[in-house]
Structure 1
Amino acid sequence: MDGIHILVPSSLVREAEDKREATRKLGTVARAAAVFGASRLVVFPDREGERRFGGEFVETVLRYAATPPELRKDLWGQRDALQYVGVLPPLRLPSEAGSDPNGSESSTQGIVTEVGPEGRVRVNCELQHPISLLVPSGMELEEGERVTIRIDSREPVRARITGKPEEGFQVVSTDLSEALARGPKPRIATSRHGRPTTISRLATLAPKLEDGFTVAFGSPGRGLPEILGISADEIPPEADSGVDSVVDGTVEPGRGFDLWSNTIPRQASEVVRTEEAMFATLAQLTLTE
């Protein structure tokens, strides 16, 4: 299974009144990713929609939330963006963060802080901050991803990357067009202007979702059509299966997605918050027979 990729904009907390409220909201987003077993949570740029708390804040808090609790202090230390992380809900994800941390040989996790040349990356981990490690053959890493590290010796330091954690989700930042190009299909856009979800439509769609899917959300007061710079009239009535191209680094209007879905067709509130839409949408898309 390719897994579930969730795409959210950097303007995700644009309506938050303060840092505490913004952190709480991001905790709910991370909780949704954890509950429904997402493998990747992508933050894509929406600079025009950002206000006080932008992409860097969003990425930092989400990456912190996705880090196993026992590693957070060593990997993150003290940062201004993490002032209110005490309000984050526990994700309760099973993890194998480490083993015998006081021994000469152990395993731990680290976060990629920089992708360098010659197949090396700089990783923030409990050994020192940061450490340069060679990327194993056949593995691709992005900034922000968590990796599993085997520590063979602490003095002198000898360590190597052995893989990516099997549990939990990765938080990365990339352009929407690239996230769509690399994400599993079908690629679903959520919008009140999309085709309403029905029982029969879910039954037809369900077999296509078994191996994974990509689903994107907008931000408060700024939905995906506005972020993409398209009108509701430009959203196709159904997937244009023959067109999934990316032109000049931007998503073609309506064509970067296979489906545009209104997953809350009986919306009675004027505004549905992004985190609320995430729970409603993912609950539908992960249904089994």
Structure 2
Amino acid sequence: MSGKKLAIAIPTSFISDTPHLREKTAKVGLIGRAAAVFRVDEIIVFLDTTEKSKQKKEADFIMLLLSYLETPQYLRKRFFKLDSRLQYAGILPPLRTPHHPLNRKSRKLKVGEYREGVTVSKTREGVLVDIGVEHPALMRENQWGLGKRLTLQVVAVDERIEVQAVGRDQVSGYWGYRVKLETHSFGSLVENGKFDLVIATSKIGIRFEDTAEKMGEHWRKADYKLVSFGAPARGLHEIAKDEGFDLNDLADYVVNMVPNQGTETVRTEEALFASLAVFNVQFGW
């Protein structure tokens, strides 16, 4: 891994105009899918209205779905109990990222490959972990409690499968996203997030092509980048103003990523795909 991180921030209200649970689920699924396609490391959900108690409920729903989607299929039953909010989880798009392997056969495992796993029991030799094949693998380190999700590397495939715990940053390539909740405000997120680069997407912003060269230089130098999005009903300018901030003071760049849009509004999930696709082509990471 390069050590550089890309985070996106989305407002809880992006699903507020969607009344049915099925459609809400689909919208959240597109956020997770876009994050995976463009190798986002962190999805930050922030509360963006004064109705904090109502929004907290919606934020919890978004967090639940994004976490469920990011979890490999073979681990979901261990981490998610029956929940009415997951009623339509079946329509969520598969991520098909490297940490969501299709292989379920231990004989096909290779030394050096990485898997996500969960500790299930302890033995005299160490800890048994479910890594999504027929039988649990052995991890000889025994400092982990049960029910702990770990990133693991296969170290032996002979008489039994053995694995060792590793940090996610040791895995080469993309290894999924993390989900965080910002309970205070968008302004607090930006001011306290220790970001090297903050980009706010807005219909009321500089056209991307007019600032692409300068932004690109900043992008390539930044270790921790944040790309933030508004909601169809309230853009980031309105959200920041309601919090007592000027968006231009919060962000390094306020940029229009969909100039000449043919619709009155651009949905958050649409803006996410459009923006990250452009950044991916222009800057890479």
Q: In the alignment, is the contact (CA less than 8 A) between 2:116 and 2:152 conserved in 1?
A: no
C-alpha displacement at 1:285, in angstroms?
A: 1.6
What's the counterpart of residue 225 of structure 1?
237
What's the counterpart of residue 246 of structure 2?
253
Q: Compared with structure 1, are the counterparts of its residues 51 and 214 closer, same or farther at alpha carbon in structure 2 (3 Å cutoff)?
A: closer
Q: Structure 1: how far apart are the matches of 2:244 and 2:196?
A: 16
Q: Structure 1: how far apart are the matches of 2:65 and 2:237?
A: 26
Q: Per-residue displacement from partner, 1:226-248 (whole Å, max 9, x unpaired)?
A: 22225xxxxxxxxxxxxxxxxxx
RMSD between superposed Cα atoms in Å: 3.2
Q: Compared with structure 1, are the counterparts of its residues 71 and 183 closer, same or farther at alpha carbon in structure 2 (3 Å cutoff)?
A: farther
C-alpha displacement at 1:171, in angstroms?
A: 0.7
Matched, 1:204 2:214: yes
Partner SS state of residue 94, structure 1:
coil
Q: In the alignment, is the contact (CA less than 8 A) between 1:16 and 1:22 conserved in 2?
A: yes
Q: Compared with structure 1, are the counterparts of its residues 82 and 38 closer, same or farther at alpha carbon in structure 2 (3 Å cutoff)?
A: same
C-alpha displacement at 1:256, in angstroms?
A: 1.7
What's the counterpart of residue 281 of structure 1?
275
Residue segments in structure 1 that go unaligned for 5+ positions in a row = 108-121, 132-145, 151-159, 231-249
Q: Which of 22, 44, 47 in structure 2 is aligned with 1:20?
A: 22
What's the counterpart of residue 270 of structure 1?
264
Partner SS state of residue 229, structure 1:
helix
Q: Per-residue displacement from partner, 1:174-193 (whole Å, max 9, x unpaired)?
A: 24345323253220111111
Q: Which of 187, 191, 194 in structure 1 is aligned with 2:198?
A: 187
C-alpha displacement at 1:101, in angstroms?
A: 7.2
Q: Structure 1: how far apart are the matches of 2:8 and 2:194?
A: 9
Q: Which of 55, 61, 71 in structure 2 is aligned with 1:67?
A: 71
Larger Rg: 2
Q: In the alignment, is the contact (CA less than 8 A) between 1:191 and 1:223 conserved in 2?
A: yes
Q: Give the TM-score of the pair, scaled to structure 1.
A: 0.69
Partner SS state of residue 20, structure 1:
helix
Counterpart amino acid of residue 69 in structure 2:
A
Alignment of 1:90-101 (within 5 A): 90-95=94-99, 96-98=115-117, 99=131
Counterpart amino acid of residue 38 in structure 2:
F
Matched, 1:171 2:179: yes
Q: Structure 2: how far apart are the matches of 1:149 and 1:171?
A: 20
Q: Compared with structure 1, are the counterparts of its residues 271 and 252 closer, same or farther at alpha carbon in structure 2 (3 Å cutoff)?
A: closer
Partner SS state of residue 286, structure 1:
helix
Q: Compared with structure 1, are the counterparts of its residues 208 and 147 closer, same or farther at alpha carbon in structure 2 (3 Å cutoff)?
A: farther
Q: Compared with structure 1, are the counterparts of its residues 31 and 15 closer, same or farther at alpha carbon in structure 2 (3 Å cutoff)?
A: same
Deviates most, 202-211 or 214-223: 202-211
C-alpha displacement at 1:81, in angstroms?
A: 1.4
Q: Structure 2: how far apart are the matches of 1:201 and 1:84?
A: 41
Counterpart amino acid of residue 184 in structure 1:
F
Q: Structure 2: how far apart are the matches of 1:70 and 1:76?
A: 11
Q: In the alignment, is the contact (CA less than 8 A) between 2:197 and 2:226 conserved in 1?
A: yes
Q: Per-residue displacement from partner, 1:52-84 (whole Å, max 9, x unpaired)?
A: 971111111111111122211111121121111
C-alpha displacement at 1:148, in angstroms?
A: 3.5
C-alpha displacement at 1:7, in angstroms?
A: 0.2
Alignment of 1:72-83 (within 5 A): 72-83=76-87
Q: Give the TM-score of the pair, scaled to structure 2.
A: 0.70
Q: In the alignment, is the contact (CA less than 8 A) between 2:116 and 2:150 conserved in 1?
A: no
Q: In the alignment, is the contact (CA less than 8 A) between 2:198 and 2:226 conserved in 1?
A: yes
C-alpha displacement at 1:161, in angstroms?
A: 7.5
C-alpha displacement at 1:203, in angstroms?
A: 2.7
Residue segments in structure 2 that go unaligned for 5+ positions in a row = 100-114, 118-130, 154-163
Q: Compared with structure 1, are the counterparts of its residues 222 and 16 closer, same or farther at alpha carbon in structure 2 (3 Å cutoff)?
A: same
Q: In the alignment, is the contact (CA less than 8 A) between 1:66 and 1:171 conserved in 2?
A: no
Q: Compared with structure 1, are the counterparts of its residues 72 and 104 closer, same or farther at alpha carbon in structure 2 (3 Å cutoff)?
A: closer
Aligned residues between the structures: 230
C-alpha displacement at 1:16, in angstroms?
A: 1.0
Q: Which of 79, 84, 87 in structure 1 is aligned with 2:88?
A: 84
Partner SS state of residue 281, structure 1:
helix
Q: Structure 2: how far apart are the matches of 1:183 and 1:52?
A: 24
Q: Per-residue displacement from partner, 1:129-167 (whole Å, max 9, x unpaired)?
A: xx7xxxxxxxxxxxxxx75479xxxxxxxxx97534750
Partner SS state of residue 76, structure 2:
helix
